[in-house]
Structure 1
């Protein structure tokens, strides 16, 4: 009988320590925030907004310019208080094209690039199938124009997500190309 008492108290101590560690881990995961870039598409006809995110701090928007019919690219960095437009690249040069900025330190073949370094709180971007808008980050290319109805407004902003937020939302590259869930 005396042999079992220390064994029972050892099991109780181990179980209590495990439960305490589990509670601590759960609370910690709920508090720890991860910086992300959130992409939100306004709902159409009373539908809920479509929201996805990615964790990479650098990303690029690409689209075909509506007048020049050539690719334009903008490169961004996620910052804690907004987005930093670092460089723009375009194949054609026309009216409204920034030309007073410094040339980008890295030039891409077939493109002209400018260093911009403009800070923005977020981006509001209207996409359509005609302009073939896409978001590139990491090793992923999200053809946003295939995911949303034409002329949808896409809002791109830096956010801080907790564990529950990350669990409840999709990575942008995991959304099916037909926009279904």
Structure 2
């Protein structure tokens, strides 16, 4: 008689555990969100989870390197600073100088919000996205003069399973 009671109690505990695990799994699948930065083009889209990234390219007129540093703030992208090698038209010159020295570059603190970035890249300007030690050579991924949209997003587990990490498109070096 005791073993039958213990057996029933064990089955009830196991059933309760399965129910709790099922509820927790459903909650995780449908309600958990991961903040990501999404990179989309006509050719496809990918994402990365690192909260900071840089855009790097060769300026089309001055033929010098430029870098913009961004942070994903969940609802917007924050341009925190910019570095460039030469002054030209449109160069920010009224902003506060960046104190972290980057040899050969001039840097400014910017702190400007964007809901998304619409960036046109070409092989001539060699546009790259750098994040978490990775270098996505976007100019090799898309045809010349393609628009790339970079935006903060929130992905569910199902979104993550259906979409690619930008790591899958890396053709550049990793640091």
Q: Same fold per TM (> 0.5)?
A: yes
Q: Secondary structure at the match of 1:117?
A: strand
1-structure distance, mates of 2:170, 2:55: 19
Within-5 A mapping of 1:58-73: 58-73=52-67
Give the C-alpha shift of residue 4 in structure 1.
Answer: 4.6
Equivalent residue, structure 1, for 2:115: 121
2-structure distance, mates of 1:164, 1:156: 21
Give the C-alpha shift of residue 98 in structure 1.
Answer: 1.1
Give the C-alpha shift of residue 62 in structure 1.
Answer: 0.2
Aligned pairs, number:
170
Q: Secondary structure at the match of 1:102?
A: coil
Within-5 A mapping of 1:46-125: 50-125=44-119
Within-5 A mapping of 1:1-181: 2-29=1-28, 30-43=30-43, 50-175=44-169, 177=171
2-structure distance, mates of 1:148, 1:42: 8
1-structure distance, mates of 2:86, 2:8: 77
Give unmatched runs, 5+ long, in structure 1. 44-49
Supply the RMSD in Å over aligned alpha carbons.
Answer: 1.5
Give the C-alpha shift of residue 7 in structure 1.
Answer: 4.3
Q: Secondary structure at the match of 1:22?
A: helix
Q: Secondary structure at the match of 2:20?
A: helix
Give the C-alpha shift of residue 25 in structure 1.
Answer: 2.5
Equivalent residue, structure 2, for 1:47: none
2-structure distance, mates of 1:90, 1:176: 24
CA distances 1:115-157 after superposition (whole Å, capped 9, x unpaired): 1111111100011111111111111111111111111111001
Give unmatched runs, 5+ long, in structure 2. none
CA distances 1:53-86 after superposition (whole Å, capped 9, x unpaired): 1111111000011111111000001113211101
Equivalent residue, structure 2, for 1:46: none
Extract structure 1 runs of 4+ deviating beyond 4 A.
Answer: none
Preserved contact between residue 69 and residue 79 of structure 2 (Cα < 8 Å): yes
